[in-house]
Amino acid sequence: MFRQILCVAVTLAAVQAHGTFTIMHSPESVTFHGNEEVCQSLLPEIFSLTLGYTTKMRGSWDGMRITNIFDLPEAVVGVAIEGVTSIEPPRGKHYPLIEDESEETTWQALSGRLEERDNSETVVRINTADGVDALGRSALGELKLKPVNVASLKTLSLENESDRKFLEEIQLLDAFTNKVLSGITIDDKTDLYWFVVSALSPVIDSHRDKPAAVKEALAILNDALSRLSNAFVDAYKGKVIIAVFTNDASHVRHTRAAGDGVGSRVDNITSDTINASKEYDATYPVMFTIFLWFGVAFVFSLIAICITIADMDPGRDSIIYRMTSNRMKKDN
């Protein structure tokens, strides 16, 4: 246990893989505040809490507060932007993100937790890089792509392969957006929709000497995210969490490499060289629970007995009346 904690602490100190975590929409029952950084590995716990699930947090984060447990969100919509550290969304609450795991690991942890509770929930993952041919019919029906409006492009070009793939992913995202209102059925089950956009990074790499092209690509992506957010907000009548986060796989690999190096240096640490605490059995806290509820039952029982005795009317002919009377009694 000590070894794991030491590895994590040194790794985070040595490698600061910062991305961006943005809440584009949340209902009034869940508020986000502050600007404290959050680990990506905590996102499954955060999303699960917003849906009303009980979780065991692996860390602490004070950026969220649930104000009404009787009006929780009915769905979570997550969008992962791969290969970049920030996209500067035009709206929402922004937090620094420590990218300590891959996007797929985050997805598996969150979807597994939902399916563990109820496998009849709607859990959808769309990787726009797969294209419409690979996806075919989505969970909301058949996807139909609209042609790209070439006249609206200023610096991006369909002749550039990275630009073309990026615009195709935006088309696919818009096609899914158009299916949201007609394809979603609101029920008493919680839903999870997960989107992965990975074509932005190649556009940035191919236009390093053209800031205008990168700026246009970011604007197109942010417009698509706004349309997607508005569609889900309308479909769920505002009772939905919509989050966007960036994930740079290279940062995650560097983090793992640093963790491996630290692990090799702590192999020689044993329980004899550190002041480790005692290990207790999982049933150790049970005795305290028994003492607690026994004490509560004893106190309330004592109060009930005292109240009963205080309200007791012995009557004039009872032995209690005879023994407590101040007048002497004589037997004839």
**Is residue 267 domain-resident?**
no
Structure tokens at 314: 């012995």
Residues 133, 41 share a domain: yes
**Is residue 2 domain-resident?**
no
Residues 317, 171 share a domain: no
pLDDT for 310: 80
**Is residue 266 domain-resident?**
no
The domain containing residue 320 runs over which residues?
A: 286-324
The pLDDT tens digits of the residues spanning 114-142 come to 888 877 678 889 898 887 665 655 566 67
Integer Cα distance of 49 and 128 in angstroms: 27
pLDDT for 114: 87
| 276: DSSP letter | P
pLDDT for 208: 87
pLDDT for 6: 38
Residues 317, 222 share a domain: no
Residues 162, 236 share a domain: yes
Flag whether pLDDT at 169 surpasses 70: yes
pLDDT for 186: 80
Mean pLDDT of the 167-175 span:
91
Beta bridge partners of 280: none
Integer Cα distance of 322 and 174 in angstroms: 93
Flag whether pLDDT at 262 surpasses 70: no
**Is residue 4 domain-resident?**
no
Quote the number of domains for the chain: 2
Higher per-residue confidence, 214 vs 321: 214
The pLDDT tens digits of the residues spanning 22-64 come to 999 999 999 999 999 999 999 999 999 999 888 877 778 989 9
Residue 328's pLDDT band, with cuts at 50, 70 and 90, is low
pLDDT for 55: 80
Domain boundary, last residue among 196, 228, 247: 247
Residues 305, 162 share a domain: no
Q: Let me know: does 102 contact 249? Beta carbons within 8 Å.
A: yes
pLDDT for 321: 61
Domain boundary, last residue among 247, 275, 299: 247
**Is residue 189 domain-resident?**
yes
pLDDT for 10: 37
Helix axes 103-117, 43-50, angle to 10 degrees: 30
Residues 202, 88 share a domain: yes
**Is residue 331 domain-resident?**
no
What percent of the chain is modeled with pLDDT above 90?
A: 45
Residues 297, 182 share a domain: no
**Quick one: 205 exposed, middle or buried, by C-beta within 10 A (0-12, 13-18, 19+)?**
exposed
Residue 81's pLDDT band, with cuts at 50, 70 and 90, is very high
Higher per-residue confidence, 59 vs 208: 208
**Is residue 271 domain-resident?**
no
Question: Three-state SS for 274?
Answer: coil
Residues 183, 296 share a domain: no
The pLDDT tens digits of the residues spanning 186-204 come to 888 889 999 999 999 999 9
Beta bridge partners of 137: 142
Integer Cα distance of 292 and 207 in angstroms: 66
Q: Let me know: does 116 contact 53? Beta carbons within 8 Å.
A: no
Residues 123, 45 share a domain: yes
Residues 144, 79 share a domain: yes
Q: 273 phi and psi, to 5 degrees?
A: -100, 0
Pairing of strands 122-127, 191-197: parallel
Residues 243, 292 share a domain: no
| 146: DSSP letter | P
CB atoms within 10 A of CB 137: 8
Q: Let me know: does 36 contact 270? Beta carbons within 8 Å.
A: no
Domain boundary, last residue among 189, 217, 247: 247
pLDDT for 331: 54
Residue 97's pLDDT band, with cuts at 50, 70 and 90, is very high
